[in-house]
Amino acid sequence: MAKLRDVGLCGLGVIGRAVCRALDAGIPGLRLGGAMTKRRAEGEAFLATLPSAPPFLPLEDLIATCDLIVEASTQAHLAEIAPKVLGAGRDLVVLSGGGLLGRADWVSLAEANRCRIYVPSGAIAGLDGVKGASVGAVTSVTMETRKPPRGLAGAPWIVQHEIDLDAITKETLIFEGPATEACRAFPANVNVVAALSLAGIGPDRTRIKIYAVPGLERNQHRVTIEGEFGRLSVELENVPSENPKTGKLSYLSTIALLRQLGASLVVGT
């Protein structure tokens, strides 16, 4: 019988808790080895509710005892986690994909230590098509994101430009620009465009428009790719999780990625 790979979770918000529950329920080839969060008391209380009662471990211990680390926290926390995880030769699943932009040094570190960085598709679809299309010539990749105003609250762009989200009464364009800028301006909101850019033509050429739409009940994304292959268009309407900044598909796609790691049949690129 093949040895189970222990998985450690960094972050126990909506996504981290959902992934922990899935691992605890059973994913072939994997086992929940432990977890950590900056709010230790809350983290320990949650882990105690799981049948396997996995331990709460500091980051260093999590890296030492687990084969795979899942980052389900923030871009700022990723900056601390990634060098330590990859430096130790552990595989890393990154949900704060915007934090990967411009970090070729982390990719080099993974190569040097023979480990891998995985990025789930998150709250988006069509990345298989984007990767396939990008083998040939791609002329443009654009994305439109629509969220209820509360889903953008607290973003650096909103704070910097003193945008009163409560005063918005109709669909309003909040931001337009390349993925590079969008991921800095909205680090907790548009990791989807980071994944899109990494799968395709890069963050500087991938463009996004972000709209605030009062009364909107689902986060909406529209992706359009054009190139020598033709034209591909994908539209999604995602049900928000308990955290309005992210959709349920974010954690579902992470669970799907983990299931794929131990699967005998892998579908898609």
Each residue's pLDDT tens digit, 173-220: 999 999 999 999 999 888 899 999 999 999 999 999 999 999 998 899
Q: Is 161 a catalytic residue?
A: no
- Domains contained in the chain, number: 2
Residues 144 and 114 in one domain: no
DSSP string, 29-94: TEEEEEEE-SSHHHHHHHHTTSTT-PPB--HHHHHHH-SEEEE-S-HHHHHHHHHHHHHTT-EEEE
Each residue's pLDDT tens digit, 39-76: 999 999 999 999 999 999 999 999 999 999 999 999 99
Residue 268 within any structural domain of the chain: no
Residues 115 and 134 in one domain: no
Residues 118 and 132 in one domain: no
Q: What is the mean pLDDT of the chain?
A: 93
Each residue's pLDDT tens digit, 119-140: 998 888 889 999 999 999 999 9
Residue ranges making up the domain that contains 256: 5-123+249-261
Residue 144 within any structural domain of the chain: yes
Residues 193 and 235 in one domain: yes
**Of the listed 77, 146, 221, 245, which one is catalytic?**
221
